[in-house]
Amino acid sequence: MDLQLSGRVAVVTGASKGIGLATVATLLEEGAAVVAVSRKSSPELDALAGPRLTHAAVDLMDPEGPAAAVERAVEVYGGLDILVNNAGGPPPGVKLPRFAFLTPTDADWLTMFEFNLFAVVRAVRAAIPHLLARGGGSIVNVTTGMVRQPGPMNVDYQAAKAALLNVSKALSEEYAPQGIRVNTVSPGPVRTAWWTEEGGAADILAGHGLRQGQRDGHGGTADDEPVHRTAGRAAGGRRRDRPAGLAALGEHDGLGVRGRRRVPQGHLSVGGRQAGVSSFRTGSALWA
């Protein structure tokens, strides 16, 4: 494909794995220069090394971190055209999913908002002057399908991402006349290491279903096997390595798209003895 990104400069947060890594790869394929932001690199990110890729080792929980990442792009490549705020989910040291409204403490809520909302606000605040200096550009904020269909887990995370959606809509209205397009992408479960690694989200969901079954007198026997299988396949079966739609939102002319929320549909349900995927359909417009 040709998204007309050759010569453009992008910053992608959460870039060492998962959706962020795939976004970096796609932008590089399309000819953009990319500053890949993460606390540390990964073998997969290192494999993309070249003159159009710079890794910025930044902790986005540091209030100065997001601006440092943006300034790195200006320092190395002379400006900024695209900001992809992909980093999010569990803050460093936190395991998700968490179940029930009463589970997260005040400190948990503050940490979740710091990582999933305030870090994005700081990155956007730092990026806007540079985008305006280039005559406009694109901001893509990654939220979650849970902003549309919330459920009784990860309540603090859902709320932070819903707030980010609200901020994104406000930004799109304010800055579209000045040439900056702001869009959100709200994916459901996507098959990444966050789901599939040992002790990851799939294992946590499976364990929750097993404990729930034991509390209900279900016994946690072979009947619980579908919980583990379903949770483990929560983000399976679809391509995850070409987020073309997300990259397309960074296209320079962008076909005038702004204020849009793209939704690759899929959500999790947690109820009774089972925790699994109610539906999972990968939007072809996004993950082409």
Per-residue burial over 262-277, b = 16 or more CB atoms within 10 Å of its CB, e = otherwise: bbbebbbebeebbbbb
Half-sphere exposure of residue 112: CA atoms within 13 angstroms, side-chain side: 24
* CATH dotted code for 9-192+240-264: 3.40.50.720
Which of 100, 96, 137, 131 has the alpha carbon at shortest distance from 115?
96
Rounded to an integer, what distance in angstroms lies between the CA atom of residue 262 and that of residue 217?
42
User: What's the distance, Cα to Cα, between the start and end of the chain in Å?
Assistant: 10
Residue pLDDT tens, the chain, 288 long = 788 899 999 999 999 999 999 999 999 999 999 999 999 999 999 999 999 999 999 999 999 999 999 999 999 999 999 999 999 988 988 887 888 899 899 999 999 999 999 999 999 999 999 999 999 999 999 999 888 888 888 899 999 999 999 999 999 999 999 999 999 998 876 666 655 677 766 676 676 654 554 444 444 443 444 333 433 343 344 444 456 556 655 665 554 556 555 554 444 433 333 333 322 222 222 222
Residue 138 Cα to chain centre, angstroms: 16
β strands within the chain, DSSP E: 9-13, 33-38, 53-57, 82-85, 137-142, 180-185, 261-262, 266-271, 274-280
Rounded to an integer, what distance in angstroms lies between the CA atom of residue 177 and that of residue 158?
30
175 is catalytic: no
At residue 39, φ and ψ (nearest 5 deg) are -65, -35
- The residue from 157, 175, 194, 287 that is catalytic is 157
- The predicted pLDDT at position 151 comes to 80
On whether the CB atoms of residues 66 and 118 are closer than 8 A, the answer is: no
Annotate 106-167 with DSSP letters as a single string: HHHHHHHHIIIIIHHHHHHHHHHHHHHHTT-EEEEEE--GGGTS--SB-HHHHHHHHHHHHH
